[in-house]
Structure 1
């Protein structure tokens, strides 16, 4: 486990997704900032590396937990998983979350004005994520699958410069921005903590926002640290 301290957050999660709840608990960003080592991330947050290693040891007991073989998946399999488990979730959850925040603002916005800002931010997230997923589903994902299929055929057509890297660069910047917006919501809400006298809708929408951010971290990790590098590697095979 000592060597784990010198591994990047992205590689730790890639090797075992059971590490995700531990990193989430301590707000260690393994997706957009996944290139930092565990030791570096702990140092930035003022956390004990030894304590984190103990928590991870308990969470990453692969003999007791099922680990999906993401590193063994080809590009098309990863894309299918992302579409089914993440894109579908995002599309289904965003309207309901926004509706719940709107109700909280309408009833309690005068007492909790920070929720007005949360509503504005999540409205922007909904618009940006909708366009973002359209780019992935309409442009990048079909290109990646096409490359994977082309490699199996003869003759193969060499992709033009930036065929994969151009959309990837844009999408990675959008991932960073979405993560920043959700971090702002987490800060505004005190880590999604409901006031003592909060109504049920208030509690529900904060729980939904927390779940949404956690899902986004897993979603972005699979794309930034697994799918996109795999796609870039496909280009080198032409």
Structure 2
């Protein structure tokens, strides 16, 4: 793909085309989830990355990637994508939250005097947990059923009953706003942890905690990308198609 084609696309589009690019963007510090609508030149400028270097790295990554391992989520039905998000990403968070909470409690007790930032991280993580637990419940009980209903109505050529929230765009906007909040909390955690760099006196539990926090951050970036840049636009498009019939 010529470099000019990379430049003309948003970073969300680029990751949607090949999900494997997400790992590269993570390394470059390019936000492809909450700010996935940014064109690559803007995203590179914000991340402090040379555009030419980023395009070259994307090309190299594409050439070396095992494309058979990538799933084109834009080709998956909205209902199947919802099931994937709930069964993979939501399930992962619900399992990871209590595990990381216990680990943070332990390293605060052992290392908190020498590393007071750990207590702040513990408090911020609790904020993230509360925010996302409520957020996932709203998605599963309100927005996701609406999107599935829209898809079923298009397939069966029927008209859905009016939704209590009005347009699907209303809960979508709310979920995107909450994604922005979660993204900001992740940035605060990363800053406090010095980019998850371990101090010299870090024990095995300390290392495990930082590894799990970094893993959660990576998974949440992919999770938000699939919603903001693929699922939510699909929901809005289906509603528009039903209105135009």
- Do both proteins adopt the same fold according to a TM-score greater than 0.5, normalized to the shorter chain? yes
Distance 2:171 2:178 in 1: 11
Choose the corresponding residue for 2:86, options 83, 88, 98.
83
After TM superposition, where is structure 1 displaced by more than 4 Å over at least 4 residues in a row? none
Residue of structure 2 in register with 1:175 after alignment? 179
Q: How big is the shift at 1:60? A: 1.7
TM-score w.r.t. length of structure 1:
0.95
**1:9–1:37 CA contact under 8 A, matched in 2:** yes
Residue of structure 2 in register with 1:2 after alignment? 3
Distance 1:11 1:73 in 2: 15
Q: How big is the shift at 1:155? A: 4.1
Q: How big is the shift at 1:45? A: 2.8
Residue of structure 2 in register with 1:212 after alignment? 216
Residue of structure 1 in register with 2:205 after alignment? 201
**1:2–1:53 CA contact under 8 A, matched in 2:** yes
Residue of structure 2 in register with 1:100 after alignment? 103
Q: Is the partner of 2:200 in helix, strand or coil? A: coil
Choose the corresponding residue for 1:236, options 227, 231, 240.
240
Q: Per the alignment, do residues 125 and 19 of structure 1 end up closer, same or farther by CA in structure 2, a change over 3 Å counting?
A: same
Q: Is the partner of 1:33 in helix, strand or coil? A: coil
> Alignment length, in residue pairs?
238
1:49 and 2:51 correspond: yes
Distance 1:8 1:35 in 2: 5
User: Can you give the 5+ residue segments of structure 1 that lack an aligned partner in the other structure?
Assistant: none
Q: Per the alignment, do residues 30 and 63 of structure 1 end up closer, same or farther by CA in structure 2, a change over 3 Å counting?
A: closer
Moved more, 85-94 or 150-159: 150-159
1:62-90 alpha-carbon deviations (Å, 9 max, x no partner): 77332202111111011011112211111
1:13-66 alpha-carbon deviations (Å, 9 max, x no partner): 010111111110121100111111111122223322222222211222377332
- The within-5 A match list for 1:111-126 is 111-126=114-129
Distance 1:53 1:18 in 2: 15
Q: Per the alignment, do residues 74 and 182 of structure 1 end up closer, same or farther by CA in structure 2, a change over 3 Å counting?
A: same
**1:121–1:185 CA contact under 8 A, matched in 2:** yes
Distance 1:153 1:20 in 2: 36
Distance 2:193 2:71 in 1: 33
Residue of structure 2 in register with 1:130 after alignment? 133
1:153-200 alpha-carbon deviations (Å, 9 max, x no partner): 354236357331111111111100001001100011111111012011
Q: Per the alignment, do residues 6 and 237 of structure 1 end up closer, same or farther by CA in structure 2, a change over 3 Å counting?
A: closer
**1:159–1:235 CA contact under 8 A, matched in 2:** no
TM-score w.r.t. length of structure 2:
0.92
Distance 2:215 2:59 in 1: 24
Distance 2:148 2:234 in 1: 11
Q: How big is the shift at 1:101? A: 0.7
Q: Is the partner of 2:21 in helix, strand or coil? A: helix
